[in-house]
Amino acid sequence: MKDLPVTIHFNTLDELEKVSSELFKLGKDTPVWLFEGHMGAGKTTLIKALCKYLGVGSNVHSPTFSLVNEYVAEGNPVYHFDFYRIKDETEALDMGIEEYFDSGAYCFVEWPGKIESLWPAAYLYLNLRADENGMRILEVAKA
């Protein structure tokens, strides 16, 4: 296993299964994963691939309006958050974000910068961007 931080490059959707496998080698023992990146960088697409890798059978989509979607992978919950539309951290607290983070279940969080003071002590941080040729560059670090 590589030491963190690490940078992963990928160019096509076909590579996401391999990327997912690599990410779970790096972060399998860390349930909270924070996904940063500009709109359209591919955060939701990457989370779909991660959920598929875990065995989620349902349709994975961004919870932009509901704030959280719950999926099931081999009988275990997987939570997918999108905080793009929240106005302040109070909304996340009101929905029980700390309980989700403390649950031990995988929590995949898009737009975590909106709730930065609520981040748990341990998390996997993923920053996704695209270069001028469409190559995706994923920087991964652990706290």
Structural domains of the chain, ranges and CATH numbers in brackets: 6-142 (3.40.50.300)
Per-residue pLDDT tens digits of the chain, which is 143 residues long: 455 799 999 998 889 999 999 999 999 999 999 999 999 889 999 999 999 999 998 788 888 788 999 999 999 999 999 999 999 999 999 999 999 999 999 999 999 999 999 999 999 999 999 999 989 999 999 99
**Alpha carbon distance 141, 143 (integer Å):** 7
- Among residues 137, 109, 89, the alpha carbon closest in space to that of 35 is found at 109
> In the numeric block, which tokens belong to residue 72?
């099931």
**Alpha carbon distance 47, 7 (integer Å):** 17
pTM (predicted TM-score): 0.92
